[in-house]
Amino acid sequence: MSRQVAGQEGAGSVVVYQLGPAESATLESIHFTVETDATAGVHQIRLLLEIPTVGTIARLDDLNEAGPSQTNFYTYALGLAGSACTLPSGLAVTDALPATQLPPGATITVEAITGAGVEIAGDQISAVLLQLSGAAVQAAPPEDLPLFLLPGSAAA
């Protein structure tokens, strides 16, 4: 089953979503807006998929180059093709995602970086929306609660 989740917003490097301790999922898509600050030079985006016991399993650099003081809209998704060009402000950018099953505790991070891979702390990441597939595992009910009562039986 697929579900949409609003992610965290912030600046520079942002953990936009962390899977819960009993949740596993495939990231089908992630949409977000980036407002670049006035820092001169190239502004790019990096998406990181990380597993607590392993570390980074995917580092997905967007090859498009934005400039200072721009607003651009990004979509990473399964089955999309990426591009590599200089971005005018207001452009919608697409990138490919790998089909990866993320285990409990995995994190999805969006980073604003320079062309050399250095974080740009002033770039704002907002309007984060993730599409996840895979059912979240719900915690079992406490053992002292009856799951059902038979006619004529009393609760313990």
| Domain edges within the chain | 2-133
Given the candidates 2.60.120, 3.30.70, 1.20.58, 1.10.3470, the CATH classification of the domain at 2-133 is: 2.60.120
Predicted local distance difference test score (pLDDT) of residue 135: 58
- 98 and 65 Cβ atoms separated by less than 8 Å: no
Residue 140 vs residue 93, higher pLDDT = 93
pTM for this predicted structure: 0.84
The b/e string for 114-133 (b: 16+ C-beta within 10 A; e otherwise) is eeeeeebeebbbeebebbbe
Give the list of residues 6+ apart from residue 104 with CB closer than 8 angstroms, or none.
19, 20, 21, 22, 23, 24
Q: What is the pLDDT of residues 49-68, one digit of tens each?
A: 999 999 999 999 998 999 99
